Structure 1
Amino acid sequence: MKKLLLVPLLLWTSFIFSQNNPTTIIQGEFLGKTMPLRDFVLSQEQTYRVNEIRIVPNNLRANEKLDPTGLPLDGVDPLRQTNAENSYTASYALEGSFDGISVNEGGGATPPDPTGAAGPNHYVNAVNSVVKIFDKSGNTLAGPTPLGTFLGNGANNGDPIVMYDHLADRFFVSQFQTSNNALIIGVSDTPDPTGAYNVYEFALDAFPDYPHYSIWPDGYYLTANKNSGNSVYVIDRDVMINGGTNPQIVGFTLPGIVNNPNTVFSPEPANLLGNIYPTDVPGYIVYLQDDGWNPGITSDHLKIWEIDIDWATPANSVVSNPIDVPLAAFDSVFAPFGTGDVDQPGTNQKIDMIGGVISYAANYRSFGTHNSWVITFNVDVDGNDTSGIRWIELRNNDTDGWSVYQEGTYAPADGHSRFMGSAAIDLQGNIGLGFNIASGTLPVGISYTGRFSTDPLGQMSVAETTIVAGTGVQTFSNRFGDYSHLTMDPDGFTFWHTAEYFRSSNTWQSRIASFSLSPGFDNDVGIIAIVNPENGGLSNAETVEVTIRNFGNLNQSNIPVELRVDGTLIASEVFTGTIASGDVANYTFTQTADLSSYGQTYTLEAKTTLATDEFTLNDPYSKDVTHLRNNDVGVVNISSPVSGTGLGNETVTVSVRNFGANAQSNVPVQYTLDGGAPVIETIAATINPEETVQYTFTQTADLSAINTYSITASTTLVSDEEPSNNSTTIAVENMICAPSANCSLGDGLRLFSVAEINNASACEGYGDFTDQIASLEPDTTYPLTVTTTYGNQYLTVWIDFDDSNSFEVSEKVITDYIIGAGQTGGTFTETVDLVIPAGAATGTHRMRAKTNWNAVVPDDACEETTYGETEDYTASIQTLSVEEFAFINNSDLKIIEKGENQFEAVLTTSYSGDVYAAIYNINGQQLKFKDLSKSSINSYVVKLDMSQAAAGVYTLKIGGTNIDSNITQKFIVR
């Protein structure tokens, strides 16, 4: 909050700044449909070479608490559970335990990043380079298949994630691609994961390290460890599960977050378990905040954000401000990253436990009366790098927000660390927790524990059970994990866990295990699908067919079923057959449904009403069915051209959808450029009902001039019954070149300050700051202050005086000035003369600053270099009037510090007109603006009350209200 007082008799009231959260909307690219995964050539098992996968250092880990006053001061976790071994409840025996992908199958990538998910009949396992599919007994059904081959990009880059989308009965497999900062995602075309997949690419603005996904009713949610731009995204899952083209991805920046000092920045999205969820439930993101990271974090807590996604108008999507959920004190900081955290027997090499992140996945389940969200992360329980797992169950409901229902730290006092945990909650509210276990006397292995919903809060009660004991150590690297993955079987009771262990020295192996904490319900049936009808030309007597699943342990017969249309009960009937435990059967209602209203969407709901049912929340299933118009086609997307540099004669590609019930062929389609004459062509191929096809026009569009163009594409079917969805319009900009370079090591500009511009920036590679304007006069020299965080940076600055959208040698105003000459790492701030030549053309022009490490900047301002950065600004060249000259040259601005962050600014000047005063923060954001009148014959006085301002550097700018000149002065708030 900022407050300024003006003299005389002027009061600036307090004002609050809230961070805007604009969305980034990206169009994904459909790469095509694969052949069946079972038909791919297998990766050849071979003796591997060490191939260590690195985490991109987006955030650097601290060696110790940055704030030593952070709790717990004594290092002892206040919630540590150290029960004696005989105080735990005996667990059920492991239901399954078998080896997944081996190090030789995986090509030796370290760490392997094991991930996996169970469907009704399969378990899909992946590590950093391959995917493999098993039945639930551990028999191989497909693979191992290289991820790069399978996902179609040819590169085995890493950080895979596997999910079973139980809402759609589809499998999801992803990895990142380093070459273009992309995520590659395959979604199975059918419920069979060994079959074909539809593959998509999402190219982002920075490398999406450590991507974690979740299943949610309105999208696939994603978080990533990125060093710039958005860190949270939502992907249009409806398009992907239906094999559509060009799904959108919407990006968000989390407001109010304090990043951790660890290697991985890892907020987590809520992942839906089960088919039940509140109406209009928002997406949830969670992140831990450790008061040992930063003095600004006053207590250990979680931050939670809500995301409301609007796929009809993605730009309307919003992310909320965070809510804080207090936790008992914890310490999430371990030893320095790169040295390892936990000892191994017989070697000095430690392995990493990954501190300061929410473990994958953060699983959510709705129980009707409340919703539970289980979250885990590693904590130091004794101040000596012994790790336990802090686990939290949050709850909310229709009226109450998120709060801690229970939390605990699982860390038996046996000298071993528990880490790399992952937890989930079953249909009865029982919690399962899988993890790695290791110490200086115990090779790393995998175990699990759990608790029953009726246990005392905050306690794991199930006896710790070994999934597999480690029989080796790793001596060549500290890297381990980087995550494990616990998921739920569709039956709602079986937990499936995969993690890494060493089966011999330097030989990792993924392991897959299943276990339950409850045998489930004896009597539990429900509708899981409405098979028919589908969208189409519907009648007044439509047959309704449903699928009934027996979730329970006992066989069931004579199951009552109900059918409703738009909430009105139209049938109460009985399925008289027998459904065995775990099996399904289809039933067709005798009563038909009237769905004959043209163009209307109906909501069908089928429901079982078994009197002895022990879990009624999964009884109903609903489906929307639309009576389609007969003839209705339209353009839903224009995928090319897209904005960029160097555009010329560009192809125009559109997606055309048949919204109607009748198949269509020879569909007329057209596009116009800036409202000009239409280019009319015909799609000869047949487009089936509700099918979307891509069409590329034969005639290209001339976009060669630097400009923003409007392209409208439309269908013009004569018999079309709904013209409102015929057309789509996009804007395409042919932009000036935007060369990018690697500035991640500190190359490039961290400050560019001249005249009114005072831009403190990060590493962008290329930064478009043309909204920032410097007012400059011909035949004048100006001091330009620049900062870089890596030395020997050559700097050249051009101003495009002739507005040709190219930068000529004659337009250089600084040529190869060396910042931090002869230096390497460090921060270097220097001032160099920027000379505006006599006779420079007046008006506004693009100003380009470009750096290059250890070599001169190329004369071609569009040429990309390996290291450095390019930033664009605007130079306003103007000739000063007599008044402006007097204001600039006959004025003196002083800022006097009065103590307690009170300041007085005095402008002494011969200028007699009205002036304004404005305050800016270091990011160039204007915080306050006010017109001033003279306080005395030759001075203006402004009192600045900065007592509530954050510490930092601020800029006061005073200028004439009727002239284009101003004076600036920096001052420091302490």
Structure 2
Amino acid sequence: MMKNIYFLYTFIFLFHLSLIAQTNESAGPVHVDSAKAVLSGSLSKAKLVPPSTDFKLYNPRNRGINKVVPGKGLPNTVDPAIQTKMGELKAKSPLFTFTAASTRSTPSDPTGVVGPNHYLNAWNSAFSIWDKSGNQIVPPASLASIGGEFENEVLGDPIVMYDQIADRYIISQFSETPDSFLIAVSQGPDPVNDGWYTYRFTTNDVLPDYPKMSLWSDGYYITTNKNTNTADQSPVVYTLERDKMLQGQSAKIISFPLPGIETNGFYSPAGFQTMGPQLPPRGNAPIIFLQDDAWAGVNEDHLKLWLINVNWSNPSASTISESQELGRSSGVSPFMATFDGGSFTNLAQPGNAPEIDALQATMMYMTQYRRFGTHNSVVLNFVVDVEPSAAEHAGIRWYELRQQSDGGPWSVYQEGTYAPDKRDRFSGSIGIDARGNIGMGYTVLDDSPSDPVYPSIRYTGRFVNDDLGIMTLEEQSIAKGQSPNPNSRYGDYAHLSIDPVDGVTFWHNGEYFEGVNRVNKVGVFRIAGDEPNDVGAISLLSPTNATLTNSEVIKVKIRNFGTNAQSGFPVTYSINGGAEVTEIFTGSLAASSSTEFTFSQTADLSEIGTTYEIMVSTGLNNDSSPANDSFVEQVKNLPPRDVGITSIDAPITGQNLSGSEEVTVTIENFGGKPQQDIPVSYQIGNNAPVKEVYNPVVPVGQNAIYTFSEKANLSASGRYKITARTRLENDFDTSNDSETKSVANLDCIPEGSDCSFGDGISYFELGEILNERIPCGDGYIDFLGASTDLDRSKGTFTVTVKSYFAEEDFEKFSMWVDLDDNGVFSDSERVLTSKVIPKADTAFSFDFDLPIDAPLGQHLLRIRAGDTRYEGDLNNPCEVMDYGTTHDYSVNITDSTLNIADFILNEANLVVVTEENSQYRVIMETSFDETLRLTVHNVLGQKLLENQLFNNGDAYVYELDMSYAAPGVYLLRVGTRKVGKVTRFIVK
């Protein structure tokens, strides 16, 4: 069985770790072979074999999941390199788009390259050829149509490449008869008429899964996903003798391991693909891979580089050496490159469609290298989970590395994680043009019911002189998805190439869906300016949201998108569509550069709470692109005093919490002026609040972390509600002052269960609780903040769950409600026992009952699920299961049969707590939640106060100020006009 195999794998893996420690930093070839060329003629119509139109699942991946070490790895919060806002520069729409393929091959694996006169594309397992206007020259044909070694070969994973220096096209796919690479090299620059040299290079009895090809000066390089457990010793990277292949001569292949690599399942390194008209010097061919510190054996997230030096005259003298590890000290921010514990169903689609593979642990194709006059650059990308502590949110981590001289070290010039909104972005392909501008195509996905996005293809980019680490262009669409992916397998790669004629036009090929068909769409776009006169206003630098005045300075950024320097053009602003203010930019603005412009005339933005719409534009004569001339931004005049609590960061749910737990909160300044000496408090349940003062300054729009000096007593087992608030005098908006959090001191927390095979609960629904795409974590997750009402008088309730794993009815589910609130889930509190989850990723519902006398109010709820064949008793809520998960929620038990008199007179307990300075806290604990009335009378019967009273979730609580009242006895009543509860209290 799979898990027994996993135990064997674990033993082998631990043994392998001991071998890694002995691995040298360099290695020689593992395998050397050669192949002869077989000539194939031009692609005549008579030779073309139609591609299959039937559904076919290609190459179920030769890989195991990327197993993470539970609890290991950074970041454990939001990605530190994240770009959370869309680029502000108006990008041009695609020059044109065209459908390169429509197929039922699963996945389609889109790949395509542009040359001087043709666009060659391929997919599983066919190809076609187009002119550069998007007209098809060679219709879709099976890869077997190429002939030679390709005859009758359609196994798949194609890659196409254009060798600009040689002006040749290359097509590759793998074969398993025998295990080998099939390579076709065009005999000339015309892929239609010049014919092909075809080669079969054997790979030593291992299928070369997920191959990626690149060009370096001394060969064609291919990286693969193979020999996962012995990648530091076995063939992983292959070098083909390019010089001989271009001549159709017998050519060698040399294979290398990757010494020092850490793999924990599927992996995909990359070679540097040379772009442009000039080859690098021979030797020192780089190979690069990401290493995630969530994996065993990796201490810090980093990019790892190797250098290969090939000796074609004496192949045994060839070497591969570890070269560099670029980690945090080199500018690589922590990243989480593994999803769902390494499983391959990650990103939710709209509706009930299968979740999509995020293509994790993969250096996405291509890794483009380009030579400039002052340096060499390489750009690369891979998918990351930008919020590891929450449900999966895919973003694209991208880099530009630079090398100051040939043979020198590489350094991080810039990095970014592109995730400008809540949508998933993945399957990226990135390139750098001849002017240093960067373009990136990718897939976008969103399962939001209110704004769903089926898998769609988009692009963004940045200009060479823009602020580092930011994709500054507004996102543009290449293709809008029409339907979901019917299968979790997604195109294993996308492919962006750059036109060799102008060096600046990007051609991106990606996959989306129309019904059951997988469509490969090519989008052609350009970032570099191609018009002489093109200037625009792009952003507002000041003012920003703050407390504004009647004389605010308007400062903006303007950009020259064109190829000519510009001067003497007008710049205009207006407020809320009012009168325009126009002034002249008198400096000189160089081509493809930006500058700041400050208007001499100020603006009146002095009305507190008002949001002002500011329009800014340029008015260059003969401007070629008016669409990017202007922008509109909103600025709010904030009240000067407005602060609040945005989160309670500590304590957290745990075992054996103490009588002195630290309470830590985040304070945010929502107002328009810096604030200090902010009164803050926290309250445990309905106890007296702890009041302190945060003294440091909190700037406008910033937050601060504060830990109270007085600790909280959470030593008794059970659930606690913690409320924290600010009490700033003359605070403008009190609705944002407070935050509430549920924390529990539990008898046990069974952390450490393995859920990487999909065991446990992936979906939970009960009443108003709906928790989808639950991450694996370390087997336990606290969801106490999620709560629902259970009306005990209604009898039967229904809970719905899913699991990613089900085998032979051994995956089972149990549930408890802690009715006595002691933080212990006893057998008598178990409401569901060992319910079978018979099918993976399918919703199953189970009914349960509560005792008719179940205590009203808030209680803890625990759920567990797992594979009951292994260690760990599912029905012992404290035992760690070998395979499974445990989650905790909250429920509020109510009873609709009780009337208001029952609640107020029988169920409620009304108390008045005396505090200092004639301040009192009125507390009436009950689960009843209708609005009540509070009144205060003196002994003469005179009413001093009447106010509404609301339930805060556990009780009615009212802060009563009697500082104005004379000493004496007073009567306090809570209830409705017809029924209520009365108590006395004394003002001294």
TM-score of the pair, normalised by structure 2: 0.48
Looking at secondary structure, tell me which structure has more strand per residue.
1
TM-score of the pair, normalised by structure 1: 0.49
